[in-house]
């Protein structure tokens, strides 16, 4: 039997109080809907269909990389109406798995059990027991324990409301049945909506047994309706990731003060101090130490690197044995070879720094190429921007750049050049040369400072 998946994601999410559609809000750096998509895409399917509505343009733009059939539900008339928009795109012979775009932590394993449970009867529901079932549809069973219907909270009697078994909304059902039942739904209920849950009763009337499985954990069926729930799931998910990393041998000084918003590839013996955020796609080699309060995004960190406190590194490659920080900013397009030192209050942008070179204090190096074993003194600035265009600075091997030097780009400095402190370099300097531009020093003996 082949499988199709429909993800419902058309709702606005009023309680988020946001101009961003709810399903685009990030959890661990990924849109809520993308989490559901990732769980869904691990199945071999005939297709994944996403029913979208509110914020459509934003959704299609931000999630254009998903391999799905986007189905628009122009007006949100209920979950049954939503599934009806997509069902004609599903082959009649398929089983359909229905998911919600705002229930991000559903696991592949639970969904796999749900699909398996539908194999005999053709219909299975994912239910859960929760202490406070308010707001959920209740699962109604007969004396034998068979499911007979789902009643929405707003339509339920007092007795039905006391039932703690709830509908998670996720189900597997035969497409050919849905195609028939969905055309017979009515919106004659307290919310005036076409309820998907009304198909339960239709199935039972046809003698179909509804199988059910219970979710392993409450978090995996938890929907996000407001920012508080979003933050609860975020903290839960971060803890799961932290445990996973620690199980793989990473030392986290405090797992509650570590955030991973993306994918992290790791070597052995990595220590990460508190309040560090890893974002996007990051790889970290062996024996790496990362100090507190660092933000590392889309970067490759080599073996034996030491990142001292309070560094920001983005879209950069850090070679082996480099030492970065404290308080360094390594900006996009930077490649540091092995054994490079980048010290405090140094900003490096779109530059390559050769093996063993050092930029230890208070400098800006942008659009530059620096050779190996070069020392760049404190307060060196590559003046790469003329107000309109960016220009390149090239510095050779074994160069000594004195403190407080300005390099007016475009400019080239040859190998073994020495630049005297305080120099403004406006012309290229050939190799093995000393260059210095400095107003002559005057000493006026016995000089008296003015008095008040």
Looking at the annotation, which residues are catalytic? 361
Buried b (16+ CB within 10 A) or exposed e, 345-372: bbbbbbbbbbbbbbbbebbbbbbbbbbb
From the list 37-45, 95-103, 211-219, 236-244, the region that binds ligand UD1 by CB under 6 A is: 95-103
Taking the complex as a whole, how short is the minimal distance between the CB of residue 225 and Ca ion, in angstroms? 6
Which residue's CB comes closest to Ca ion?
223
Q: Please report whether residue 76 would count as binding ligand UD1 according to CB under 6 A.
A: yes
Told to check if 101 binds ligand UD1 by CB under 6 A, we report yes
Contact 284, 270 (CB under 8 A): yes
Between strands 95-100 and 165-174, the pairing is: antiparallel
Residue span binding ligand UD1 (CB under 6 A) among the ranges 64-72, 160-168, 173-181, 369-377: 160-168
- Size of residue set near ligand UD1 by CB under 6 A: 27
What single-letter DSSP state applies at residue 269?
Answer: S
Interface positions, 116-145, toward ligand UD1 (CB under 6 A): 136-137
| 79 contact choice in ligand UD1, Ca ion, none (CB below 5 to 8 Å, kind-dependent) | ligand UD1
Please give the helix or strand (H or E) that residue 80 lies within, else none: helix 79-87
Least spacing, CB of residue 382 vs ligand UD1, in Å: 51
Residues numbered 179 to 198 that lie near ligand UD1 (CB under 6 A) are 195-197
Q: Does 353 bind ligand UD1 (CB under 6 A)?
A: no
Question: Which among 81-89, 223-231, 392-400, 410-418 is the span making contact with Ca ion, rule CB under 5 A?
Answer: 223-231
Describe the crossing of helices 175-182 and 79-87 by its angle, rounded to 10 degrees: 120
Q: Is 204 in the site for ligand UD1 (CB under 6 A)?
A: no
Options 29-37, 157-165, 220-228, 271-279: segment touching Ca ion (CB under 5 A): 220-228
**Residue nearer to Ca ion on the CB measure, 20 or 408:** 20
Instruction: Name the 3-class secondary structure at 214.
Output: strand
Restricted to residues 239-258, the positions that interact with ligand UD1 (CB under 6 A) are: none
Helix count (H) and strand count (E) of the chain? 8, 39
DSSP state letters, 390-439: B--EEE-TT-EE-SS-EEESSEEE-TT-EE-TT-EE-S-B-TT-EE---P
Minimum distance, C-beta of residue 127 to Ca ion, in the bound complex (Å): 15
Residue 223 makes contact with Ca ion by CB under 5 A? yes
d(CA 356, CA 375): 9
By beta-carbon proximity to ligand UD1, the closer residue of 60 and 338 is: 60
CB of 162 to ligand UD1, least distance (A): 15
Query: Please, are residues 189 and 195 in contact by the beta-carbon 8 Å criterion?
Result: yes
Neighbours of 267 (CB within 10 A): 17
Q: Is the CB of residue 291 less than 8 Å from the CB of residue 273? A: yes
The β-bridge relationship of strands 312-314 and 288-290 is unpaired
The interface region with ligand UD1, picked from 78-86, 112-120, 273-281, 433-441 by CB under 6 A, is 78-86
Neighbours of 447 (CB within 10 A): 6
Tokens found for residue 69: 């059939």
CB closer to ligand UD1, 136 vs 237:
136
Short-list 220, 264, 268, CA closest to 242: 264
For residues 55 and 402, which CB has a smaller minimum distance to ligand UD1 in the complex? Answer: 55
Minimum distance from CB of 142 to ligand UD1 (Å)? 19
Name the residue with the smallest CB distance to ligand UD1.
Answer: 137
Q: How far is the CB of 223 from Ca ion (least distance, A)?
A: 5
Half-sphere exposure at residue 395, Cβ-oriented, CA atoms within 13 angstroms:
36
Of 78 and 325, the one with the shorter C-beta distance to ligand UD1 is 78
Using CB under 5 A, list all residues that contact Ca ion. Answer: 223
Using CB under 6 A, list all residues that contact ligand UD1. Answer: 8-11, 51, 73, 76-79, 81-82, 100-102, 136-137, 150, 152, 166-169, 195-197, 223
């Amino acid at each position: 039997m082949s499988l199709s998946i429909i993800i419902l994601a058309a709702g606005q999410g009023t309680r988020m109080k946001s101009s961003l559609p709810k399903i685009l809000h990030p959890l661990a750096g990924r849109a809520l809907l993308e989490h559901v998509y990732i769980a869904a895409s691990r199945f071999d399917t005939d297709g994944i269909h996403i029913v979208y509505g509110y914020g459509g343009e934003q959704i299609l733009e931000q999630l254009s990389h998903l391999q799905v059939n986007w189905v628009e539900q122009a007006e949100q008339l209920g979950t049954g109406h939503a599934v009806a928009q997509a069902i004609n795109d599903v082959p009649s012979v398929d089983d359909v798995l229905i998911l919600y775009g705002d229930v991000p932590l559903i696991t592949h394993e639970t969904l796999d059990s749900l699909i398996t449970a539908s194999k005999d009867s053709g219909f299975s529901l994912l239910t859960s027991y929760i202490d406070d079932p308010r707001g959920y549809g209740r699962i109604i069973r007969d004396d034998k324990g068979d499911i007979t219907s789902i009643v929405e909270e707003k339509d339920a009697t007092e007795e039905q409301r006391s039932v703690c078994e709830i509908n998670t909304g996720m189900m597997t059902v035969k497409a050919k049945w849905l195609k028939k039942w969905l055309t017979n739904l009515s919106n004659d209920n307290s919310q005036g909506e076409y309820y998907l849950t009304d198909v339960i009763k239709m199935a039972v009337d046809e003698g179909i047994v509804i199988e059910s499985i219970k979710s392993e954990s409450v978090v995996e069926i938890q929907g996000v309706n407001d920012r508080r729930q979003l933050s609860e799931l975020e903290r839960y998910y971060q803890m799961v990731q932290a445990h996973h990393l620690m199980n793989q041998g990473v030392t986290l000084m405090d797992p509650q003060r570590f955030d991973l918003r993306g994918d992290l590839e790791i070597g052995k013996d990595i220590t990460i101090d508190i309040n560090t955020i890893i974002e996007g796609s990051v790889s970290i080699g062996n024996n790496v130490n990362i100090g507190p309060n660092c933000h590392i995004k889309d970067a490759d960190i080599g073996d034996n690197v030491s990142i001292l406190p309070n560094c920001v590194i983005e879209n950069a490659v850090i070679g082996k044995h480099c030492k970065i920080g404290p308080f360094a900013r390594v900006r996009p397009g930077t490649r540091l070879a092995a054994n490079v030192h980048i010290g405090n209050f140094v900003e490096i942008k779109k530059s390559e720094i050769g093996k063993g070179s050092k930029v230890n204090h208070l400098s800006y190096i942008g659009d530059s190429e620096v050779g190996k074993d070069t020392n760049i003194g404190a307060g060196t600035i590559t003046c790469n921007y003329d107000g309109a265009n960016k220009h390149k600075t090239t510095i050779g091997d074994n160069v000594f750049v004195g403190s407080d030097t300005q390099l007016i780009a475009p400019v080239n400095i040859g190998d073994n050049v020495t630049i005297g402190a305080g120099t403004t370099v406006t012309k290229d300097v050939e190799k093995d040369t000393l260059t210095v531009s400095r107003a002559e020093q005057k000493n006026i003996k016995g000089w008296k400072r003015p008095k008040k």
